[in-house]
Chains A and B, each alone.
Chain A
Amino acid sequence: MLIPLYGFLRGDTIGLIVLAQDTDTIREIGAKLQEAASIRVAPAPSVDVRHRGRLLDPERTVGECGLEALERVDVAPRAS
C-alpha cells in the first residue's frame, strides 16, 4: 500500500514527498529521501529517521512503525 510521507532532510531547504510502501523499511525511506534531495545535499553514509521525535528502527517497515499517509518524518545524518 502506498503511504506518501512528508520528508525533511537535515541540510535541505525544502520538504519532499516520499512515496513509501508500507513494506519499505525505515532504512529505505531514509535512502529514498536522500536520493531525492541529492541535488542539494550530499548523501550521508547512514541516517536516522524520526517520527514525532521518536527514533525509528531502520530494520522495521513503514507499516510496522505505524506511519500513516501525510505524516512528517525527519531524516538526519547519524552522529558518529
Chain B
Amino acid sequence: MLKRDQWLDLARKLDWDFTYVDAREVYPEEISGRPWLPHSEWKDWDEPYRTSFAEYVATQHTKELSVQAVRQAVGRVEDFQALDPSWVNGLKLHAATLPLAEFAAVIGNLRAARFARDSAWRTTAAFGALDELRHTQIPLLLMHDLVRWSPQFDWTHRFLHTDNWVAIAGRHLVDELLLGSNPIEFAIATNFVFETGFTNLQFVGLSSLARGAGDRMFEKMVQSIQTDEARHSQIGPAVLRKVVEKDPEYAQYLLDKWFWRTWLFFAVVTGFSMDYLTPLKHRTQSFKEFMEEWVLDQFQKTIVEFGLRKPWYWDKFLEALDLYHHMVYASAYTYRASVWFDFALPGPEERAWLRQKYPKTWDLLDPVWGRVTDRWKKCGPGVEWYTHGATPVTFCDLCQLVLCGGSPMENTAQTLVHGGKKYIFCSDPCRWIFEKEPDRYASHEDVVKRILAGKAPANLIDLLTRTFSLTPDTWGKDVASGRYAWLKEPSSAPVSR
C-alpha cells in the first residue's frame, strides 16, 4: 500500500502541458495575474500543510463539533446578557464586519481555485474557499439567535448590503481585495498581507480577550476561524516568493498598497475593540502594544526575509499607531447614530489607562473627551443629541473612511484634482494609492459627493434612515445612555497627569 506522501501529489499536484490550446488562453494574464510566467516557473509551488481532501473534511468536522458544543453550552441569549455591555457592542462591530467580507473571500479563493498557476495552489485555494464559506456561516448562525434580544445583531447579515458609511468603506476594500483581484494579487494582498500580517494574529489576540471577558462563544468562534486562516494564508508566502524573484518592484508595490489599505480598516475594528469596548478590567494590552508584539515584529522580519523593504510610509504608519483609531473613535462617538452598535464613553479610569498606554499623544486627544464629558454633565443622562454632531463629516476618496488622519494639531488630509474633479484623501498613502491607479478609483463617490449630487439626503435623520439603513432602534447610542457614576463628579480637567 502506498504511503501518504507517495500518493498525495496525485491528488493535489497534477498539472500537464496543453497541446490543443496555449497556456495563456487557459490562464489569461487578465484573470490569472502578473507576472505571467510559463508553468515551469510555478511547478515547484508548495505550502507546508499539504492537506488532502479527506483530511480536510475530517479536521473541519471536528472543529464544527467543537463550535456546536460551545454553542449549546454558552450560546443562549442569557449567556450574552451576562456580558459587559461594552464588550457586547464590540461583538456587534466584529459580527457585522466579518461574515460578508468572508463571503467575498470565497469568491477570491474560487477564482484562484480555477486560475492560479499551479495545481497545488489551486487545491489549497479550493480549501480556502470552503474555509471562508464556513467563516461566513458561523457568525451568521451564532448571532442570529441574538437578534431577538437586540436588533443591532441583525447587522451581522445586513451590514454589507447597506449604504452605511462603514459598509461603503468595507465594500470598497473587500470588493478590490477579495472580489476583484486576480490570484496573484489576492495571494499577496489577502493571504500574505492581511491574513499573515494582521488577522491570523488578531484572532489569537481576540480569542484571548474574549476569554478574559467571559465570552466563551466568541472565543471559540475566532479560535476555530484562526486555525483555518493559519492554513490557507500559507498560499501568500509561496506566491510572493516567486513574484519577488521575477518582478520585485511589483511585489513591493502590492505590499505597500495593501498593508496601508488593510491597516486602516483593521485599526478601526480592532482598535475600537481593544482600547474602548473591552472593559478596562479585562484589557491585557493596548492596541498599540498588541500591534507591536504580534504584528510589527513578525511582519518586519518576514518582509526582510523576502528581500522586500518596509513600506515607504513606515514612519507615518508608526505615528498613526498612536493616533488613528483614537481619532476615529472620538469622532465616531460623536456621530454614533450613524452606525449599528453602541459606544462606551471613556471615564477617568479609562482615560488614565489610555494616557499611560499612549503617553506621546494622549495630551492631544484627552481634551476632546473632557469636552464631551462636560456636555454629558450639562445635559444629564439620556440626552443623546447634546453630545452628537449634526454637520456632515468628511470621507476619504480612497479608503472611504472618515478624514481622521494625523493628529488634532494637524489633520493629514490631502487634496487632488484629477480629470477636472476634486478629490480628498485622509493621508499621503491613500493619495498615493489613488494616483497609482486612478482609473480604478476615480468614479467612486464618497458619502459627501453623494449628498452634493443629490443622491443622498443632507438632513442627518434622513441620511441615517434612508441611506445608512438605521432606525431609532438600531442606531448607535452611548452604551450607558450617559448614566455613569463618575459623571456625577464635578471635574473636567485632564485626568491622572
- Show the binding face of A for B, using Cβ within 8 Å: 4, 6, 8, 10-18, 36-37, 39-42, 69-72
Contacts and interface: CB of A to CB of B under 8 A. Distances in A.
Interface of B: 326-328, 330-331, 334, 365, 367-368, 371-372, 375, 387-394, 402-404, 408-411, 413, 415, 422, 424, 448, 452
18 contacts: A6-B415, A8-B413, A13-B331, A13-B408, A14-B328, A14-B330, A14-B393, A15-B393, A16-B389, A36-B389, A37-B389, A39-B334, A39-B371, A40-B330, A40-B331, A40-B372, A70-B422, A72-B424
Contacts of B328: 13-14
Nearest to A7: B394
A32 to B, nearest CB: 8
Contact of B404 (A13, A37, A69, A70): A13
A14 B326 CA distance: 11
B365 A15 contact: no
A70 B397 CA distance: 12
B205 to A, nearest CB: 25
B391 A17 contact: yes
Given A6-B415, A12-B408, A16-B389, 4 more contacts: A10-B410, A16-B394, A36-B390, A37-B391
Contacts of B410: 10
A14 B372 contact: no
Contact of B394 (A6, A39, A40, A69): A6
A13 B394 CA distance: 11
Nearest to A74: B411
B415 A39 contact: no
B415 A72 contact: yes
A14 B389 CA distance: 11
Give 5 nearest A-B pairs by CB, closest first: A36-B391, A14-B331, A15-B403, A15-B394, A17-B392
Chain B contact surface mostly: mixed
B394 A14 contact: yes
A11 B367 contact: yes
Contacts of B413: 6, 8, 15, 72
Given A41-B368, A42-B371, A10 B409 contact: yes
A64 B421 CA distance: 22
A7 B91 CA distance: 33
A16 B33 CA distance: 40
Contacts of B402: 14-15
A1 B410 CA distance: 29
B408 A11 contact: yes
B393 A17 contact: yes
Most buried by B among A17, A36, A39: A39
Contacts of B409: 10-11
Contacts of B375: 39
Contact of A13 (B368, B388, B392): B368
B452 A4 contact: yes
Contacts of A36: 389-391
Most buried by B among A8, A14, A39: A14
A15 B422 CA distance: 16
Contacts of A42: 371
A73 to B, nearest CB: 11
Most buried by A among B331, B391, B424: B391
A13 B330 contact: yes
A77 B323 CA distance: 22
Contacts of B394: 6, 14-17
Contacts of A14: 327-328, 330-331, 393-394, 402-404, 411
Contacts of A70: 415, 422, 424
B434 to A, nearest CB: 15
A13 B327 contact: yes
B404 A16 contact: no
Contact of A39 (B367, B389, B452): B389
Contacts of B391: 16-18, 36-37
B494 to A, nearest CB: 13
Contacts of B411: 8, 12, 14-15
Contacts of B424: 6, 70, 72
A80 B470 CA distance: 45
Contact of A16 (B367, B371, B393, B415): B393
A1 to B, nearest CB: 13
B403 A39 contact: no
Contacts of A72: 413, 415, 424
B344 to A, nearest CB: 16
A41 B387 CA distance: 11
Nearest to B415: A72
B422 A10 contact: no
Contacts of A10: 408-410
A33 B54 CA distance: 63
Contact of A17 (B327, B365, B422, B448): B448
A76 to B, nearest CB: 9
Given A6-B424, A8-B411, A39-B389, A13 B452 contact: no
A69 B330 CA distance: 27
